[in-house]
Amino acid sequence: MSDNTTDKTTTRRNFLRTTMLSAAALPAAGALLQSRPAAAGGMDRLSEDDDAARALGYVHDVADVDTDRWSNYEEGQLCSNCQLIGGDADEQWRPCDIFPNKLVNNDGWCSAWVPKS
Ligand code: SF4
């Protein structure tokens, strides 16, 4: 086998190895993309199914408040006008003092709502 043939064989082998490794990595990359934070800052959006969220009746959309259960809810109350929300008012998903390291929806609500002072 000449040096030239050996080079071609090595190149082909390297190409196949790289291609197979890349293909094997695709599912892992997809899983990472699905679990990445929904917003900047490394925080995930709060799930309505989170134990703390359920305990406080948090919903992403104030229209979904269970008013039978949460009689303290009053029309006009929103995460966006709650004293406990932080972050940038232009962002739809923002940090909240009640749910550390999670983002709540501007249009959401929970029973810990406090009017902005
Ligand atoms: Fe929204 Fe305020 Fe409840 Fe946080 S404490 S989830 S900002 S209503």
pLDDT at residue 101, rounded to an integer: 96
Around ligand 1, the residues with Cβ closer than 6 Å are: 58, 79, 82, 84-85, 96, 98, 104, 108-110, 112-113
Instruction: With 0.85 as the threshold, say if the pTM is over it.
Output: no
**Using one digit for the tens of pLDDT, what is the confidence trace for 74-111?**
999 999 999 999 999 999 999 999 999 999 999 999 99
CA–CA distances in Å: residue 67 to residues 36, 45, 84: 33, 23, 21
Which is higher by pLDDT, 102 or 8? 102
Q: At residue 57, does pLDDT exceed 70?
A: yes
Q: How far, in Å, from the CA of 35 to the mean position of ligand 1?
A: 24
First to last CA, the chain: 83
Average pLDDT of the chain to the nearest whole number: 79
Angle at CA 45, nearest 5°, toward 108 and 54?
Answer: 60
Q: How far, in Å, from the CA of 31 to the mean position of ligand 1?
A: 30
